[in-house]
């Protein structure tokens, strides 16, 4: 067994020894676990005698930070050297940490377990986070009414789709106005507060589609792309809502990891089967990252 796997297993056993329920968060496809009331992304590093080095992709960090009571546990070579950093604090300091074009951050901790920041001698004091199991298990700051990972990830995908649509110059709409992504309500990310009325459609169905990108035409709007996020294994009503756009030349997307379920449900819409397009959620994250990086590069070069 690799040292990283050993450290991970030791960490989970230590969590269980605190009488905490431990459950993997499969929807995020990373070493993220629900431990008690907290959500923990676990990273491990070997002790190489100098600093402790970790790689952390921004997409993973962002998905974690949208969960309630979220932390990153950095295991520094030993189960007795764990730094539990609240995800909000880590996200707020990422601008002071080096990264590559793919959004992979180079997380370094000193031998004293301080987080290394840009600039000579700069670091973040992490002494209060070291081996602080109480912060993730018993702290009064932990929310008790927490959102499920599936619901949180659903909001993340909607938020990313709205951002991508905005970057591309579309008018964007989502019905889930009070839901949040990166601390912002979706209604503050979307550029349309109300779903436009369309002549050849069931308005009640269209206005409940997860995300729509519209193009302004004459004095109205035309639906160019429409997206439904289906993360559960239940009845997928999103197919029916998208079907209400069948009179338009709209690209219809179902975002899910369940390819077999997608095939089964799309087969029941024989007339529209070829119009439905399947995308796995991870691809939305990659597209969002690429679009955001392109914007930053244009800003850096004043292009």
The domains of the chain, with CATH numbers, are: 3-137 (3.40.1350), 149-300 (no CATH)
- What does the pLDDT profile of the chain (303 residues) look like in tens digits? 578 999 999 999 999 999 999 999 999 988 999 999 999 999 999 888 889 999 999 999 999 999 999 999 999 999 999 999 999 999 999 999 998 877 899 999 999 999 999 999 899 999 999 999 999 998 888 988 999 999 999 999 999 999 999 999 999 999 988 999 999 999 999 999 999 999 878 899 999 999 999 999 988 999 999 999 999 766 678 999 999 999 999 999 999 999 998 998 888 888 888 899 999 999 999 999 999 888 777 777 877
C-alpha 160/C-alpha 162 separation (Å) is 5
Q: What is the residue whose two structure tokens read 């960090």?
A: 61
Q: How many residues does the chain have?
A: 303
Q: What separation, in Å, do the N-terminal and C-terminal C-alpha atoms of the chain show? A: 49
- How far is Cα of residue 200 from the mean position of the Cα atoms in its chain? 35
- This prediction has a pTM of 0.93
C-alpha 79/C-alpha 7 separation (Å) is 6
């Amino acid at each position: 067994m690799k040292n990283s796997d050993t450290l991970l297993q030791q960490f989970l056993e230590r969590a269980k020894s605190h009488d905490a329920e431990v459950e993997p968060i499969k929807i995020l496809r990373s070493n993220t676990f629900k431990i008690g009331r907290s959500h923990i992304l676990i990273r491990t590093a070997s002790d190489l005698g100098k600093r402790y080095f970790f790689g952390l992709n921004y997409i993973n960090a962002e998905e974690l930070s949208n969960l309630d009571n979220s932390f990153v546990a950095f295991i520094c070579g030993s189960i007795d050297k764990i730094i539990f950093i609240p995800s909000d604090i880590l996200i707020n300091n990422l601008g002071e940490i080096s990264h590559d074009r793919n959004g992979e951050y180079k997380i370094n901790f000193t031998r004293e377990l301080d987080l290394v920041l840009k600039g000579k001698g700069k670091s973040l004091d992490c002494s209060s986070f070291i081996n602080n199991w109480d912060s993730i298990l018993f702290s009064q700051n932990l929310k008790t009414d927490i959102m499920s990972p599936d619901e949180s990830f659903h909001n993340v995908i909607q938020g990313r789709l709205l951002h991508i649509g905005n970057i591309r110059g579309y008018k964007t709409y989502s019905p889930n106005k009070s839901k949040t992504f990166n601390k912002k309500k979706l209604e503050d990310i979307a550029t349309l507060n109300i779903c436009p009325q369309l002549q050849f459609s069931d308005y009640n169905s269209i206005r409940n589609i997860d995300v729509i990108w519209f193009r302004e035409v004459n004095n109205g709007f035309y639906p160019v792309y429409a997206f439904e996020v289906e993360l559960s294994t239940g009845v997928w009503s999103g197919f029916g809502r998208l079907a209400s756009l069948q009179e338009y030349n709209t690209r219809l997307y179902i975002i899910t990891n369940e390819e077999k379920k997608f095939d089964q449900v799309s087969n029941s819409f024989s007339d529209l089967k070829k119009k439905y397009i399947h995308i796995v959620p991870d691809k939305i994250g990659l597209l969002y990252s690429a679009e955001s990086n392109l914007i930053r590069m244009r800003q850096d070069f004043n292009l």
